Amino acid sequence: MSPLDLPPDLRTRLRRLSITPRRAAVIASAGQHASRNRGGAQEFAQYRAYERGDDLRQIDWKLYARSDRFFVRDAERESPVTVWIVLDASASMAQADLKTPNWSRFDAARRLAAALVEIAVNQGDRFGLVIETATGPMVVPPGGGARQRDRVLLTMAPIQPAGIALWDRDVGVYGERFGPNDVILILSDGFDAACIETAERLAMSGRDVAMIRVLTADERDFPFDQGYRFVDPETGAALVGDGPALRVDFLRRFAEAREALSDRLDAHGVRHAEHFADRPADEPIRALFRPEATR
C-alpha cells in the first residue's frame, strides 16, 4: 500500500483528532476549530459517505431516500488558521529498517503528512505543503477541501529523498510565507542541526511551530546481531563494527541525544513528538495535540 493511501481504520481514528493552535486567542476566534470546522450553514462544498461520529443533522435525508445510503453534506467555513506541513526530503530520510526495507523513514513521514492533511480537511482548515529538498523548497500554496488534498498528495507522491537540505538557505522563504496565526508542522528525523535551528528561529519570531521527529525502529531497538558497515547517507562517512558490541553504547548515546533535543525544543517553545516508522501515524498526532500536552 502506498504511504499516501490511509488504511480505513486509521482514517476512522483521524476523525477523532484535531490540529489545535497553541494560542488560545486563535482557537477562540476559530469557533469550532477544535472539532470539524464544517457545517450546513455555510456554502455547500461536497457530499461524502457518512462515517461513524458524524453529526446526524448533516445527513441528506432526501438523498438517502433516493439511494438508500447515508451521505453527509459538507460545507466550507472560513478558518483563520492555515496548517503548513514541512516535509524533510534529505537523504537521511531514505533510511529503512532491516525488517521492512521497502518502508523508509520518508514513507512514514509522507503517511504522517497525509494523515495531517486528512485532519485539516475534516476540520475545514486551509493547508499548504513545503517539501525541503537539496535543490530548494517545493511549495504548494494553501487551500482547502478535497481538491487541495489531491494537489498535496500528488505533489508528494513522486518525491524521493536525496542530498542535503539547506535549511538555513530557505528559512527566509518560510518567514515570508508563514502567517502569524499559522500552525507549522515540521516532519523530519531531526538529525540536521540547521533544521532544528530553522524551527527555533520560526518559534522565536512568534510563530506556532511543532515538530514530529520520524525515527526508525532499528534506531530504537538496534537489532543488529552481526558485523555491519554503517554509512551516513548524507556525508558518506562509514563505521564498521560488531552489532552486539555497539548496541549498549549506541542506545545510551541515542537516548541522551533524544533527551537533549527534547530539552532544546522545549526551551525554544517548539512543540514536539516522536514517531517510529513501525507505529501507526495517529499516535504522534494525538500526543502532539492532546489537551494536557505542554510541549
Residue 3 placed within a domain: no
60 and 206 part of one domain: no
120 and 91 part of one domain: yes
Question: What's the confidence (pLDDT) of residue 46?
Answer: 61
pLDDT of 65 > 90? The answer is no
Asked which of 27, 58, 76 is the last residue of a domain, the reply is 76
244 and 270 part of one domain: yes
Residue 217 placed within a domain: yes
Sole residue written with cell 526508525: 216
Please say whether the beta carbons of 207 and 180 come within 8 A: yes
**Of 140, 152, 9, 118, which Cα lies nearest the Cα of 1?**
9
Residue 69 placed within a domain: yes
Residue 25 placed within a domain: no
Residue 4 placed within a domain: no
69 and 166 part of one domain: no
Sole residue written with cell 522563504: 173
User: Which domain CATH number covers 258?
Assistant: 3.40.50.410
> In which domain, by residue range, is 231 found?
79-289
pLDDT of 124-165, one tens digit each? 899 999 999 999 999 999 999 999 999 999 999 999 999 999
Asked which of 76, 91, 122 is the last residue of a domain, the reply is 76
User: What cell does 13 get?
Assistant: 481514528
154 and 190 part of one domain: yes
Question: What number is the average pLDDT over the span 251-258?
Answer: 94
How many CA atoms within 13 Å lie on the side-chain side of 19?
29
Q: Specify the higher pLDDT residue, 168 or 226.
A: 168
d(CA 108, CA 137): 20
pLDDT confidence tier of residue 79, bands split at 50, 70 and 90: low
User: What cell does 33 get?
Assistant: 476549530
Would you give the distance in Å from CA 68 to the centre of its chain? 37
253 and 113 part of one domain: yes
60 and 187 part of one domain: no
Q: What percent of the chain has pLDDT over 90?
A: 63
pLDDT of 27-36, one tens digit each? 444 444 544 4
Could you give the 3-state DSSP secondary structure of residue 48? strand
- Top mean-pLDDT range of 53-57, 203-207, 230-234: 203-207
Number of domains forming the structure of the chain: 2
90 and 171 part of one domain: yes
Residue 61 placed within a domain: yes
In 77-199, beta strands by DSSP E: 82-88, 126-133, 136-143, 183-188
43 and 118 part of one domain: no
Residue 294 placed within a domain: no
Name the strand (E) or helix (H) holding 260: helix 243-267
Question: What's the confidence (pLDDT) of residue 47?
Answer: 65
Mean pLDDT of the chain: 85
69 and 92 part of one domain: no
pLDDT of 2-29, one tens digit each? 999 999 999 999 999 999 998 754 444 4
pLDDT confidence tier of residue 175, bands split at 50, 70 and 90: confident
132 and 278 part of one domain: yes
Residue 208 placed within a domain: yes
Query: Rounded to two decimals, what is the model's pTM?
Result: 0.81
Please, what is the angle between helix 167-177 and helix 193-204, to 10°?
30
Asked which of 59, 76, 93 is the last residue of a domain, the reply is 76
Q: Residue 150 gets which letter from DSSP?
A: H
Dihedral angle at the C-alpha atoms of 126, 167, 275, 144, nearest 10 degrees? 10
203 and 237 part of one domain: yes
